[in-house]
Amino acid sequence: MKNITLGKQGLIVPAVGLGCMGMSEFYGEHNQKDNLSVLRRAVELGCTFWDTADMYGPFTNEELLGKALSGQRDKITLATKFGISRNQQGDWLGVNGHPDYVKSSCEASLKRLNTDYIDVYYQHRIDPKVPIEDTVGAMADLVKEGKVRYLGLSEVEPEQIKRAHKIHPISVLQTEYSLWSRDVEVNILPTIRELGIGFVAYSPMGRGFLSGTINQRADLQSGDWRLDNPRFQQEALEKNKALINEINVISVSKGVSSAQISLAWLLAQGQDIAMIPGTKHLPYLEQNWQSMAIQLSVEELGTLNELSHKHTVVGTRY
């Protein structure tokens, strides 16, 4: 297992964690019994950095983790998020960063997660109507009260990161990062490295595309949100397959999967980067975990960098 330290505040996590969103929503069918089996196996492996949010489900993903945490809480570094507001019926109510909402959201998450503290509490998205200083100020109060250990932000611009960090140290920034989403390398990574903030990559396999298992829209289940995503429209898929086809050449030569090559590439991008690939399947959990043992040569890393720049991804991230 490879542990890394995120941020100057000393948050230590395994480099490969577990994104739990798909266990409750967005990625087709899900089964609680199977999900709990995956979570139990994750503990056995040491994959103990778990990521959720109140809006996943909505609310049911936190409840799932609350069940899985029973008797295991001290082994898990638990991250959840607030800020994207939904009601019990799943309606989208917008983004909310008001201080009162921050605190009420935290209380609700603690109850659903069946715990008295959250290791990493993220602002899921910035509320343009509320100064980030006010939102982070309320988050800082939660740290003082012992309900939260570390603060994080998700999908935030450099200037907002700097403003937030002045109010209370931000330990982690979470944003999409993979071989087909490298925007963060321009301004985001330099900013957080200057400030001593760690990075958590979500969708490190390009929302599953870099696994090489999605060749056409028919490969996605009904209800999978990727069916509405620009990068997974059929014309885009056809063009984007050029990247995965070349990644496959490297994966075959090393006797591993293209997904593992993609994760190994990301692990090589810095000692301040962790990732949270999501899965509902035990074999994929174990493959993701094993990616930490894959060593890519300087030449292989160079080739992957060239490929990702050569094959411009068709379609926006959202």
Any idea which residues carry the catalytic annotation?
56
Q: How far apart are CA 172 and CA 150, in angstroms?
A: 8
Backbone phi, psi, residue 277, to 5°: -60, 140
Which strands make up the sheet holding 77-82, listed edge to edge?
18-19, 49-51, 77-82, 118-123, 148-154, 172-176, 198-202, 273-275
Contact 177, 184 (CB under 8 A): yes
Torsion of CA 48, 51, 56, 61, to 10 degrees: 20
Backbone phi, psi, residue 246, to 5°: -80, -35
Kindly state the tokens that stand for 123: 């602002």
Beta strands in 45-123 (DSSP E): 49-51, 77-82, 84-86, 92-95, 118-123
Q: What is the CA radius of gyration of the chain?
A: 19
Contact 262, 247 (CB under 8 A): yes
C-alpha neighbours within 13 Å on the C-beta side of residue 148: 30
Q: How far apart are CA 188 and CA 8, in angstroms?
A: 17
Q: How far apart are CA 29 and CA 223, in angstroms?
A: 8
Q: How far apart are CA 59 and CA 122, in angstroms?
A: 16
Residue 3 forms beta bridges with which residues? Answer: 14
CA of residue 25 relative to chain centroid, distance: 15
* Helical axes 234-254 vs 258-267, angle rounded to 10°: 80
What's the DSSP call for residue 177?
-
